[in-house]
Amino acid sequence: MNDKSKKVPEVVIKRLPRYYRYLGELLKQDIKRISSNALSEKMNVTASQIRQDFNYFGGFGQQGYGYNVEHLYGEIGDILGLHDDDTFIIVGAGNLGRALANHDTFEKRGFRLVGIFDNDKNIIGTKINGIEISDADNIEDFLKHNRVDIAILTVPREAVMETAERLTGCGVKGLMNFSYTELDFDRDVAVENVHLSDSLMTLSYKIKSNKN
Amino acid sequence: MNDKSKKVPEVVIKRLPRYYRYLGELLKQDIKRISSNALSEKMNVTASQIRQDFNYFGGFGQQGYGYNVEHLYGEIGDILGLHDDDTFIIVGAGNLGRALANHDTFEKRGFRLVGIFDNDKNIIGTKINGIEISDADNIEDFLKHNRVDIAILTVPREAVMETAERLTGCGVKGLMNFSYTELDFDRDVAVENVHLSDSLMTLSYKIKSNKN
DNA sequence: TAGATTGTTAATCGATTAACAATC
DNA sequence: TAGATTGTTAATCGATTAACAATC
């Protein structure tokens, strides 16, 4: 919105979902207001950082009072674009793809699954979570007739690059890549690489260094 | 190893798996040596950062030559503890748990799945990927008789905290948490929180800001 | 040896924390 | 009003980049 202000650092953006999570929790507990200080203790960060982070997007609080939890929750949801009815498809209906299709948290955050694709003739036509698996050959056709904002890629590594290009060529603006390869588009395509084995390796490192 | 040297920053540790991935790729292509400069172009980071990162762990390169890919790959694997025969269990055999049990990348990186647990009587005794699902009530007993380094938690959010405490109480040193809640142990327990919906939200934000 | 490239120190940049005036 | 707490500027800290002497 305030587009002339300085660019929001990546680290701040990455923290937004975490704030959103904690605020959702407070909301559930029927807590109406919270100060940056109280929140900082819960989240194990500094109050200063919280105030700085929020102020990239404008003042959501009130001096002497703090932040209204419900309002702040809504605002951060807005900033994250959770109220935009974003749609997504899953390409690759293997174990991970199937699990994600059943992952109801995505829907709870406002993302709507509108298609699942695979190239295995044996599973095309079967349903996951009420959605029929379509032939991956028909992706372009599907994208011509349906607005799709995000594609989750759970295809084999060899197929990622080609799939990604087909999708972005048809207007998909965001990719969530689960394959071992790293995707990188510098154009107008947003990419999140989710490397599950990276997390396991990091964990392994930490365990090692914990017993130094 | 060089334990008196300064602590390695978290950002550097998080980059190690990425180096490992790119080096593995080079190895596959039968590339014997690489300079920090050539690697920097491939990875889209600065050569300076690469050299700095590696030097937290000692000099792996040679002036005038660069880095021996195979050697460096091995060293980073060592640093990450991939050659330690680390074992892991999966607690929670829902969609995600099952997908991860079948996720062969973990095994490829040197981690060995030794148990799967759930509390649903209907699936206890059935097998995933050759491993029988055990009753979650028997976790403590299992841990008494088997060394388990890491536990992957794919249990419902309400059960996470209790499960985590049972596991760490029995000596598990690392937790990979997939539930929406945030786990945090300050003791000797390493934790990686993997929030899939966070990535989707970040993606949503980026898409929004791309069309500013 | 000359050229290349590392390891490492120094300079810069950016993010976090501290401080405090503004204000509810 | 007095007290609390934000929004925001200034100070600090840490990470990234640049530079270059060491050396293969």
Q: Which residue has the tokens 């829907």?
A: A107
Nearest nucleotide relative to A60: CA against C1': D6
Cα dihedral sign for A167, A111, A54, B15? Answer: negative
d(CA A38, CA B98): 39
Q: What is the mean pLDDT of residues B144-163?
A: 97
- The pair of structure tokens assigned to B104 is 């062969």
Determine the distance between B94 (CA) and D10 (C1') in angstroms: 52
Q: What is the mean pLDDT of residues A49-75?
A: 96
Percent of chain A whose predicted confidence (pLDDT) is above 70 = 97
- The pair of structure tokens assigned to A179 is 């394959």
pLDDT in tens, A99-115: 999 999 999 999 999 99
Residue B26 C-beta-side C-alpha neighbours within 13 Å? 23
Residue ranges of domains in chain A, CATH in brackets: 10-79 (1.10.10.10), 87-198 (3.40.50.720)
**What pLDDT is stored for residue B212 in this prediction?**
62
| 3-class secondary-structure state, position A130 | coil
Which residue minimizes Cα–C1' distance to C16?
Answer: A49
**What pLDDT is stored for residue B41 in this prediction?**
97
d(CA B179, CA B156): 7
Determine the distance between B38 (CA) and C11 (C1') in angstroms: 24
* DSSP secondary structure letter of residue B193: E
Nearest nucleotide relative to A63: CA against C1': D6
Bases in strand D with any atom closer than 7 Å to a protein CB: 2-9, 14-19, 21-24
Q: What is the mean pLDDT of residues A167-187?
A: 92
**What pLDDT is stored for residue B146 in this prediction?**
97
Residue B193 CB contacts under 8 Å (≥ 6 apart), including other chains: B177, B182, B183
Taking the model in full, what pTM does it have? 0.94
The answer to whether A40 and A50 are in contact (CB under 8 A) is yes
- Whether residue A30 has pLDDT greater than 60: yes
Q: Which chain A residues contact residue B201 at CB under 8 A?
A: 16-17, 20, 80-82, 109
Nearest nucleotide relative to B12: CA against C1': D15
Determine the distance between A9 (CA) and D19 (C1') in angstroms: 27
Which residue minimizes Cα–C1' distance to C23?
Answer: A63
* Closest CA of chain A from B63, distance in Å: 28
Q: What is the mean pLDDT of residues B154-173?
A: 96
Q: Which chain A residues contact residue B3 at CB under 8 A?
A: 212
Residue A148 CB contacts under 8 Å (≥ 6 apart), including other chains: A87, A88, A89, A114, A115, A142, A171, A172
| Nucleic strand D under 7 Å from the C-beta of A48 | yes
Q: What is the mean pLDDT of residues A69-97?
A: 97
Q: Which of A16, A201, A210 to mutate to test the interface with B (most CBs of B within 10 A)?
A: A201
* Closest CA of chain B from A137, distance in Å: 25
**What pLDDT is stored for residue A6 in this prediction?**
64
Q: Which of B210, B23, B152 is nearest to A175 (CA)?
A: B210
- Whether residue A56 has pLDDT greater than 50: yes
* Lowest-pLDDT range of A20-24, B3-7, B94-98: B3-7
* Closest CA of chain A from B31, distance in Å: 18
**What pLDDT is stored for residue B55 in this prediction?**
95
- Whether residue B6 has pLDDT greater than 70: no
Which residue minimizes Cα–C1' distance to D23?
Answer: B63
* Closest CA of chain A from B137, distance in Å: 25
- Whether residue B1 has pLDDT greater than 90: no
**What pLDDT is stored for residue B73 in this prediction?**
98
- Whether residue B131 has pLDDT greater than 60: yes
Bases in strand C with any atom closer than 7 Å to a protein CB: 2-9, 14-19, 21-24
A with B: how many residue pairs have Cβ under 8 Å apart? Answer: 192
Question: Which one of B99, B106, B111 has the shortest CB-CB distance to A96?
Answer: B99
Q: What is the mean pLDDT of residues B127-132?
A: 95
**What pLDDT is stored for residue B3 in this prediction?**
36
* DSSP E strand boundaries for B121-179: 127-128, 131-135, 150-153, 174-177
d(CA B150, CA B110): 13
- Whether residue A23 has pLDDT greater than 60: yes
d(CA A162, CA B184): 39
Q: What is the mean pLDDT of chain A?
A: 94
pLDDT in tens, B36-86: 999 999 999 999 999 999 999 988 999 999 999 999 999 999 999 999 999
C-beta atoms of A210 and B190 within 8 A: yes
Question: Which one of A79, A182, A208 has the shortest CB-CB distance to B205?
Answer: A79
Which residue minimizes Cα–C1' distance to C6?
Answer: B63
pLDDT in tens, B77-118: 999 999 999 999 999 999 999 999 999 999 999 999 999 999
* DSSP secondary structure letter of residue B157: H
- The pair of structure tokens assigned to B94 is 């829902």
**What pLDDT is stored for residue A212 in this prediction?**
62
Chain B: residue nearest A205 by CA? B80
Cα dihedral sign for A141, A150, B177, B78? Answer: positive
Q: What is the mean pLDDT of chain B?
A: 94
C-beta atoms of B17 and A195 within 8 A: yes
Determine the distance between B109 (CA) and C24 (C1') in angstroms: 56
**In sequence order, what DSSP letters do the residues of B64-116 get, joined into one string?**
TTEEEHHHHHHHHHHHHTTTS--EEEEE--SHHHHHHHT-HHHHHTT-EEEEE
d(CA A177, CA A167): 12
